[in-house]
A and B are shown apart, each in its own frame.
Chain A
Amino acid sequence: MTKAGTAPAAARAVDVVNVGLRACAAFDRPDLAARLTETKRRLADPVIHVVVAGEFKQGKSSLVNALVGAQVCPVDDDAATAVPTFVRHGEQPRAELWRGDNGTGDQREAIELADVRRHVVETPIGDGEPRVGGVEIRIPRALLATGLVLVDTPGIGGLGSAHAAASLAAISLADAVLFVTSAAQELTRSEMEFLRRARTMCPTVACVLTKTDFYPAWRRIRDLDAAHLAAEGDIPLLTVSSALRARAVKNSDAELNAESGFPDLITLVREQVGGSAEQRLATEAAAEVVALCDHLETSFTAERAALADPAAAQRVVDELTAAKSHVERLTTAAAKWSQTLSDGIGDLTSDIDFDLRTRIKEVTAEADQAIEAGDPADTWAELGPWLQARTAEALLSNYELLRERATELSEKVGEHFREATGALLTQPTVHDPTPLAAAEVGEDLDLKKMRAVKQAVVALKSAYGGAMMFTLVGSMVGVALGPIGLGIGLVLGHRGLREEKKRQVQKRRTEARNAVRRYGDKITFVAGKDSRDTLRRVQRELRDHYTALAEELNRSNARALTAAGEAAQRTKADREKRLKNVDAELARISQLRQRAEAVAGS
């Protein structure tokens, strides 16, 4: 592995990608350039989601405001944040919101910054408009310019609440989580459970202890929390006071700013969160460049083999011709990877659907038991949230299964694709003038595997539309259980009260059971369609990706064929001159590969 250079990984990645792009131009491969251009765009405009999560009223919005040094997220003594708020960089301050649940970009509307409060803060009753799915605020801030997107979220309301499940689903697609807890008390059981689960879904989790200005005993709480966190492994704990920071920013008071604890938090966000995301992006970019090198080397290696030994030229041409039909087959539906994909998606769709139905059935059965155990008149108001929470939990587990299995499938498709192509790309190794390509094969494989896994996450993210990651489980929170007729609640002043009550209770139970069943059906219907659509999008994404790769291969192979064919027809002098050139090109490519691998390995 190469030591990390002085320049940040992203800058070096951009350099490597630029060289790669120049190579594409020089060797006339615009098809390969397209992918690199996309990579370059991602490097230039990275999106790093940092989800700020925690219980109600712990100071999440204040923390976001204090981080960016402006009142962007509404803070209220009473009302809590009701919809996720995305705070990101923009030259001009502006705000947008989207309505509805699946948030497919087209429903976005611009709003005044002053109106953000009205949309974000929880309102008692809906005014008939479709639910606000989220709000995006752009402000010019150096901290955010690196692509950081701070996501302020509604309070989780205890583990096992519907919101907790929605937050966890969002966290699974986020780059980092800041878990906010105030110095009012040590971490509670449900907070710890949430943290534990968040950690399994997102690699980077940090805990922030807020309101240290107000609680004299915050050091005690910090130590208690640190002990709880230590039991979970390596979760950093930071202590901050948003109030002091706000005042420090207002009065440009550096001393107070240091007291607020924010400098440390900003360093953490910038270096650990931003840094690791940057490294990941850089590695992804490097992997693309390495893939480019593979393609370019193919034709030069073939040409070189033909040039070096004219007697072998025909064999090289034959081999490449044989490979040609092979590669062409890769682009068709008959290819093994393609079959793996379509079979896999088929199986997955039916498994996920079965899993969902089973889980909803279990929830319904539990609800039936609860209804049987009590009087719905007493329990109905609580049964609603309980049912929603259990359903959200079931949906979350269902989604986790989907995520896991989709990743597996993506790996498998990638594996099959690699099996088919690996042989093709290394085929014309009659003799290899540049032994380092073989030496780096281990790392090369890792990078390739990473590309396949990344593809699954990319597919899932694009299936859920990036910023809309809250809506997956969150949309289900909005499905109402529906009212039941409670019957006559009042029977007074005569004997037989008990019998009359019993009769009423039976009637209410029947009604309640029916309502629960209707709810379950609705959820199965909506969520079932949602996961089918998601899988279809994953399938499309993966198919397009590998088809494009196959076409690139096809072109590389054709190039190699042409080059080898031409080589055979050259005069000896011409051949020797060309050989020198080809060796020089190969050396240059291998140099590029080395640089890319250095970026990936740093």
Chain B
Amino acid sequence: MSPARLIDRTRSVLDHAIEVYRYTPHGTRLAATRDRLDQPLRVAVAGRVKAGKSTLLNALVGERLAPTDAGECTRIVTWYQDGHTYRVRARVGREERQLRFDREDGQLNINLDGLRAEDVDELRVTWPAQALRSVTLVDTPGIGSLSESAARRTWDLLVPDEEETPADAVLYLMRHLHVGDVEFLRAFHDSEVSQPSPVNAIGVLSRADEIAVGRLDSMASARRVATRLGEDPDVRRLVQSVVPVAGLLAETAVTLTEEEVGQLRRIADLPPRDAEELLLSADRFVGTRPELGLTEPERASLLARFGVFGVRLASTVLRRKVAGTATDLARELAERSGLNQLQDLLSSLFFERRDVLKCRSALLAVADVVRDFAGPGSEALAGEVEAVVSSAHPFNELRVLSGLRAGWVSGKAEVVAELERLIGGAGGATHQRLRLPPDADRGELTTAAADALSRWQRRAENPLTSYELAVAAQVAVRSCEGMLADLTEHRDVRTRH
């Protein structure tokens, strides 16, 4: 399908742009943009202060790299990227400096070596980790922070004044929809290439266990809230989807130790009533029932790792024998924390759309340079960017998607829903577009795609269809044709073998 071609076209636009701006300072920036095209997708984790950004980042990496704390904690924009060696570097202005670090209880500690946090522009942590192969994660200070400069850093990263955004996509953590959130997201979008679109943002209802203040059905409650938020028209315009994640539980699930499971078992062995009394409050858990055989520091560290909800849930899971071993428990907790669902969503909405998102960022960068620094040849370059942007099918899909999300394209609810799926709104894979199970065979897929094609052709040509829907229908037709072409191509490949 076209993304492959799109990336080639984008590359050639970039090559041309580098040529045009060769003897200017922008040449270097454009070269960096071209390099970035081949690097892993950059996903920023953003949101208000104490939304649980660092905790979620750790859960996604599977290691406790980002420092977390009850008080406000992340003060420096920090990049976590894959590499061959373990390394931490700080950028101060134009200067880069190597920093020392150590690990204690699995927690990474970075020694700022006399640097003041407010002087450091960004930290780059290079860490060989499986999870970082396909994605570079960016931890940001919260918005709405009491220290002004920490908040401004997030804005600088996501909404720079004259550059393309350094992140290709963003995970936006929200605790409850807050006016600050909407303003923030709006600023993240830029309208020059591919219109503002909910294509590169996923909403995460973070600290989901807090929504029902730690009741055992907290996650069910959180899912209801997330669904409602995800259906809100204003939210739909801004983020693709909203999923609930209990960040702390997720982080602990992926870093769970045997020792912790042993401690939890002692609680699980209590009679249910006693366990309930014990877990009534954090203070009670730390301070009562000395016969439990857990020391106060042990209990406090359990709370710090699991939270009240986590201890309640994990001990219940153990008592009900839903999970027996530490591995089982880790899997169960990861599932219940919502982490797995988020990872699925990340891969279908971001990773599979990697090329489109990358090209979007790159073209945005070229458009920025062309707009702000006109020179010989820049006009032609602008034309090239526009040609790619206006004709590339993936961008058309994105544009229709944002049109749908913004409510410009309207029609019967089920028609709009089908349209959204066909153009990849729920994920770019063919089965997702056709709303078939992942194991659907090629025959089923082909039939469904052909059906959709004729249905949407009819809609596109029907004079009663509104103009916007007809335009969108043409895009859907292209999407169907693309799927059919892919399916046939695969068959050809296979018959040839």
Contacts and interface: CB of A to CB of B under 8 A. Distances in A.
A160 B144 CA distance: 13
A129 interface: no
A80 B211 CA distance: 12
A184 B50 contact: yes
Interface string A64-91: 0000000000000110100000000000
A389 B183 CA distance: 13
Interface stretch (A38-46, A196-204, A216-224): A216-224
B146 A220 contact: no
Contacts of A56: 176, 178
B254 to A, nearest CB: 21
B390 interface: yes
B411 to A, nearest CB: 13
B234 A381 contact: yes
A220 B145 contact: no
A158 interface: yes
Interface in B162-186: 175-176, 178-180, 182-183, 186
Given A77-B224, A214-B213, A188 B176 contact: no
Given A220-B70, A386-B183, A489 B304 contact: no
Nearest to A163: B179
A389 B179 contact: yes
Interface stretch (A415-423, A442-450, A492-500): A492-500
Interface string B203-216: 00001001111100
Contact of B211 (A77, A224, A256): A77
Interface stretch (A239-247, A325-333, A361-369, A569-577): A239-247
Contacts of A379: 186
Contact of A486 (B151, B176, B304, B408): B408
Contact of B396 (A185, A216, A217, A493): A493
Given A247-B280, A382-B186, A57 B175 contact: yes
Interface stretch (B102-110, B335-343, B469-477): B469-477
A57 B472 CA distance: 40
Interface string B134-151: 000000000011101001
Nearest to B385: A498
Interface in B303-340: 303-304, 307-309
Contacts of A114: none
A228 B183 CA distance: 26
Contacts of B308: 213-216
A187 B281 contact: no
Interface string A243-263: 110010000000010010000
Contacts of B178: 55-56, 157-158
A490 interface: yes
B225 A77 contact: yes
A385 B50 contact: no
Contacts of A188: 48-49, 144-146
Contacts of A78: 211, 221, 224-225, 228
A385 B191 contact: no
B189 A215 contact: no
Interface stretch (A103-111, A340-348, A370-378): A370-378
A184 B176 contact: no
A220 B300 CA distance: 14
Interface in A168-192: 184-190, 192
Nearest to B212: A77
Contacts of A211: 213
Contacts of B300: 216
Most buried by B among A57, A214, A244: A214
B409 A244 contact: no
B391 interface: yes
B179 A489 contact: no
B468 interface: yes
A158 B180 contact: yes
A161 interface: yes
A477 to B, nearest CB: 12
A78 B387 CA distance: 46
Most buried by B among A186, A213, A385, A498: A213
A161 B177 CA distance: 13
A241 B281 contact: yes
Contacts of B144: 158, 188-190
Contacts of B30: none
Given A186-B72, A211-B213, A492 B396 contact: yes
B146 A187 contact: yes
Contacts of B382: 498
Contact of A216 (B237, B307, B383): B307
Contact of A224 (B71, B179, B284, B399): B71
Contact of B386 (A375, A492, A497): A497
Most buried by B among A220, A379, A498: A498
Contacts of B309: 214
A218 B309 CA distance: 15
B221 to A, nearest CB: 4
A334 interface: no
A167 interface: no
Given A220-B70, A381-B234, A490-B400, A57 B176 contact: yes
B286 interface: yes
Nearest to A57: B176
B409 to A, nearest CB: 7
Nearest to A220: B70
A214 B475 contact: no
B35 to A, nearest CB: 28
Given A211-B213, A497-B390, A184 B207 contact: yes
B282 A214 contact: yes
A192 B148 CA distance: 13
18 contacts: A55-B178, A158-B178, A161-B179, A184-B175, A185-B49, A185-B72, A189-B148, A213-B308, A256-B280, A377-B406, A378-B189, A379-B186, A385-B179, A486-B406, A492-B474, A492-B475, A493-B390, A497-B386
Given A243-B281, A374-B191, A493-B391, 16 more contacts: A77-B221, A77-B222, A78-B225, A157-B179, A160-B179, A184-B50, A186-B50, A187-B146, A211-B213, A381-B237, A389-B179, A490-B403, A490-B472, A492-B400, A493-B390, A498-B386
Closest 10 interchain pairs by CB? A489-B408, A213-B281, A217-B70, A185-B50, A216-B282, A216-B303, A497-B390, A77-B221, A78-B225, A490-B471
Interface of B: 48-50, 70-72, 144-146, 148, 151, 175-176, 178-180, 182-183, 186, 189, 191, 195-196, 207, 210-214, 221-222, 224-225, 228, 233-234, 237, 280-284, 286, 300, 303-304, 307-309, 382-383, 386-387, 389-391, 396, 399-400, 403, 406, 408-409, 467-468, 471-472, 474-475
